[in-house]
Amino acid sequence: MSIDSKTLVAGIKKYPVVAVSGLIAVGLLMALYFRGGKIDEQQIELARVSAESERYRSNISNSAQLQEQLAFLIQANDAVKNRAMDIEGLAQNLQYFYRLELETGVKYSDLRPAAKPPVRGAVTKGPAPVYVPLNYIVNVQGDFPQIILFLRRLEQGVYFCRVNSAVASNTGTGLTLNLNLDLLGIP
């Protein structure tokens, strides 16, 4: 049984709704087949765009208080700068220690900068540091309450201080405290 063109045309004329429905079904199946391979690519693209939009949404919600946070950080940075020593003001830096000596009643047996601070404008790798440590060797003599008061004033003083090492010894007439400490400095 062969189907020739006359029989086919006669069948289409006799059943036009079935013929058109068949053509539409074949067309839809072909469209589904050819577009089916692109579904994975489109899902990947949708996931990428969704992640990017979520990132934008997160950035927008996080930036609601950005100006207040920036003002707070600037204020905090200024507060830290106000509590840092100038690395080039050696006389002023030593004056701080002499005021501590006067206020606490201890006596210095040795007070000197331990390491030379970096030179301003020196060539270094990477960005210049914002803050540098100013290292001092401090040896003080006094009785126990004076030594404790001296340490408290260092810790709670005008400048940020970190004690690297401390050795206390009894000299018979009082205590001797040998300190190696860093003060926060601004180049």
Dist. CA 59–CA 37, nearest whole Å: 35
* Sequence ranges of the domains in the chain: 5-63, 85-186
Per-residue exposure over 93-117, b if at least 16 CB sit within 10 Å of its own CB, e if not: beebbeebbeebebeeeebeeeeeb
Residue 96 · residue 159 · CB < 8 Å: yes
Confidence check: pLDDT of 120 > 70: no
DSSP secondary structure code for residue 128 in this structure: P
Predicted confidence at residue 134, as pLDDT, reads 85
Dist. CA 89–CA 95, nearest whole Å: 10
Structure token digits, residue 71: 């003002």
pLDDT digits (tens, 9 = 90+) for 121-164: 555 677 777 788 888 899 999 998 999 999 999 888 888 888 88
Task: Determine the Cα angle at 168 with ends 164 and 169, to 5°.
Answer: 150
Cα 111 off chain centre by: 36
Dist. CA 144–CA 177, nearest whole Å: 10
Confidence check: pLDDT of 181 > 70: yes
Predicted confidence at residue 141, as pLDDT, reads 92
Dist. CA 129–CA 88, nearest whole Å: 15
Q: What is the mean pLDDT of the chain?
A: 84
Among 19-28, 30-39, 140-149, whose mean pLDDT is lowest? 30-39
57 versus 32: which is more confidently predicted? Answer: 57
pTM value is 0.58
Structure token digits, residue 119: 């030179």
Confidence check: pLDDT of 39 > 80: no
Which architecture does CATH list for 85-186? Answer: 2-Layer Sandwich (3.30)
pLDDT digits (tens, 9 = 90+) for 97-114: 899 888 889 998 888 888
Among 50-64, 85-99, 163-177, whose mean pLDDT is lowest? 85-99
